[in-house]
Amino acid sequence: MELKQNVWVYVELVDGELSPVSIELLGKGRELADARQNTLVGLVLGKGAADAAKDVIAYGADAAVVVDDPALETFDSAVYAKAVAAVAGKYEPSVLLIGATNNGRDLGGRLSAALNLGLVADCIDVRYEGSDDTLTWIRPAYTGKLFVKILTKTRPQLATISGKIFHGNAKDTSRTGEVITETVDLGGAAAAQRVTGFQELPPDQLELNLESADIVVGAGRGVGDEEGMKKVQAFAEAIGAGFGVSKPLVDNGWVGHDIQIGITGKKIAPKVYIALGISGAIQHKLGVQEADLIIAVNKDADAPIFQFAHYGIVGDLFEALPVLEEEIKKLK
Ligand code: FAD
């Protein structure tokens, strides 16, 4: 199988499993590879990489390149960048997609510097528009007021891509592919920073619910005050939903930034998003637009949120809360 000049995805592992954004990127990578009759390769590093290789193929890759080295046990961007740079130097991918996670952004920046490559950060879409292998990357600019198209001249075309944009393919364990183990000399990779220990902190319960819940309730400035926000939070708990807020509630110090929804907060893609007292500013919209169904309650019939909500109630959110709670509980 020819692995050179192809579409590559850097596959990030979390507790030995493929991270959600890696699965999404394997799906998008498959589409790009098919568009140019190319091979899709997943590059997976670290402890458990060999075990994860079969999943890389099950989610759409034709081949998995594995680098399993004790130096890669915990993420250290300097060491990881050295490993990825070495593999990229050998196989010369045309494209390398990296999830825009904290570690992915760190890795992307270091790779760009190490290999002297252009890097398009935090893309929300990518496609071929011409007839050659040049990709058009799309990312928000000016805090989401504009979307810009960016082309990169260097190879591999390197980009970090936000999560919850693409859906990824369903796992297909009947898929087969090649697994190649690479050995990289990682001596001397440690840079100015060095990870000397690693302690995992339990995720904040609210944050966890927000990211994984099928239903998310969002509270906006329309709640009036902190008491109003707590009523909305109690409503979210009563219907078993995750709870998030718009930026002004964080700015007021009522909750932490970890549950802010929007372009500078969390991007979510639940089955249902219920926006209560949220106007629907573009910076908020960009965080929720991947929800399957958006229901908005706002007392202003002209609020922008009604332009992208699937269902809307024009009225006072506090009057709507008990009705919504009763109806949702009946459905559940
Ligand atoms: P408002 O715009 O004030 O809207 C409140 C809404 O509540 C109004 O539509 C009103 O009609 C309605 N309302 C009032 N009372 C009631 C009631 N009793 N019942 C029903 N409806 C009622 N915002 C984010 O959310 N997330 C981000 O990540 C984000 N990032 C940003 C980044 C930058 C750089 C900038 C400049 C801004 C960002 N913002 C972000 C802020 C964004 O521009 C908006 O200001 C913000 O989303 C507005 O929040 P809101 O809808 O809660 O408040």
pLDDT tens-digit readout, 229-258: 999 999 999 999 999 999 999 999 999 988
pLDDT at site 186: 87
Nearest 10 degrees: Cα torsion 294, 300, 302, 308: -10
The Å distance, Cα 32 to ligand 1 centre, comes to 37
Judged against a pLDDT cut of 80, whether residue 144 lies above it is answered with no
CB 85 within 8 A of CB 115: yes
Q: Is the CB of 281 under 6 A from ligand 1?
A: yes
Specify the 3-state DSSP secondary structure of 321: helix
Specify the 3-state DSSP secondary structure of 142: coil
Going from the C-alpha of 226 to that of each of 239, 255, 273, 275, 284, the distances in angstroms are 20, 9, 21, 17, 20
Tokens of 69: 């080295």
Write down the H helix ranges in 142-275. 205-212, 226-238, 247-251
Query: What's the rounded Cα separation, in Å, for the pair 265 and 97?
Result: 22
How many other β-carbons are positioned within 10 Å of the β-carbon of residue 247? 20
Judged against a pLDDT cut of 70, whether residue 102 lies above it is answered with yes
Residue 216 bridge partners (DSSP)? 242, 273
The Å distance, Cα 37 to ligand 1 centre, comes to 45
Q: Is the CB of 304 under 6 A from ligand 1?
A: no
| pTM metric for this prediction | 0.76
pLDDT at site 202: 67
pLDDT at site 136: 98
The Å distance, Cα 187 to ligand 1 centre, comes to 50
Q: Is 79 exposed, middle or buried (0-12, 13-18, 19+ CB in 10 A)?
A: buried
Please report the DSSP string for 239-270 in residue order: TT-EEEE-HHHHHTTSS-GGGBBSTTSB----
Residue 135 bridge partners (DSSP)? 128
